[in-house]
Chains A and B, each alone.
Chain A
Amino acid sequence: MKPNLFVARCKAIAARGLGAETMVMSATSSTLFTLNEVASVIWKSIDGTTPLREIVAREVCSKYDVPLDVALEGAEAVVRGLAQHGLLVISEKPISVSIGSSKADQ
Chain B
Amino acid sequence: MSSLAIGMVEKALKRNIPLSVQLDLTYRCNERCIHCYLDHDDHGEMTTAEIKDLLDQMADAGVFYLTISGGEILMRRDFFGILEHARLRTFCIKLKTNGVLLRKQEADRIKALGVESVQISIYSHRHEVHDAITKRPGSLRRSIEAVRLLREHGLHVVMANVLMSQNVNDYRRVRELAGELGAQFVVDPTITPMMDGDRSILALNVDEAALREVFRNEALVGNVEEFCAPPQGADENALEMLPCSAGHTACYVSPYGDVYPCVQFPLPSGNVRRTKFADIWRDSPQLNEVRSIRLRDMPSCFRCTHGGTCTRCPGLAYLEGNMRGPSVQDCEKSYARTGIASENLKSRRAAAQTVPILQLVQIQGLGPSAPHPSPEVRGPVQRLE
Q: A-side interface residues toward B, CB under 8 Å?
A: 11-19, 21, 23, 25, 27-28, 30, 32-34, 102-103, 105
Contact = CB atoms under 8 A, between A and B. Distances in A.
The 9 closest A-B pairs by CB, nearest first: A12-B114, A14-B92, A27-B114, A105-B90, A16-B64, A15-B90, A27-B116, A103-B88, A25-B92
B12 interface: yes
A34 B8 contact: yes
A19 B62 CA distance: 10
B87 A102 contact: yes
A25 B64 CA distance: 10
A104 to B, nearest CB: 8
A25 B17 contact: no
A42 B7 CA distance: 22
B114 to A, nearest CB: 3
A29 to B, nearest CB: 10
Interface residues of B, number: 28
Contacts of B114: 11-14, 27-28
6 contacts: A12-B112, A12-B113, A13-B114, A18-B17, A32-B2, A32-B5
B89 A27 contact: no
A16 B4 contact: no
A21 B117 CA distance: 25
B11 interface: yes
Given A27-B116, A30-B117, A32-B4, A16 B11 contact: no
B15 interface: yes
Given A11-B114, A27-B115, A34-B4, A102 B88 contact: yes
A16 B90 contact: yes
A102 B117 contact: no
A34 B88 CA distance: 20
Interface string B112-124: 1111110000000
Q: Which of A19, A23, A28, A34 has the most CB of B within 10 A?
A: A23
Nearest to B62: A16
Contacts of A30: 116-117, 156
Nearest to B156: A30
B90 A13 contact: yes
Q: Which of A12, A33, A34 has the most CB of B within 10 A?
A: A12
B331 interface: no
A33 B63 CA distance: 16
A87 to B, nearest CB: 11
Nearest to B65: A14
A91 to B, nearest CB: 20
Given A19-B15, A23-B64, A102-B87, A14 B93 contact: yes
B59 interface: yes
A23 B59 contact: no
B277 interface: no
B302 interface: no
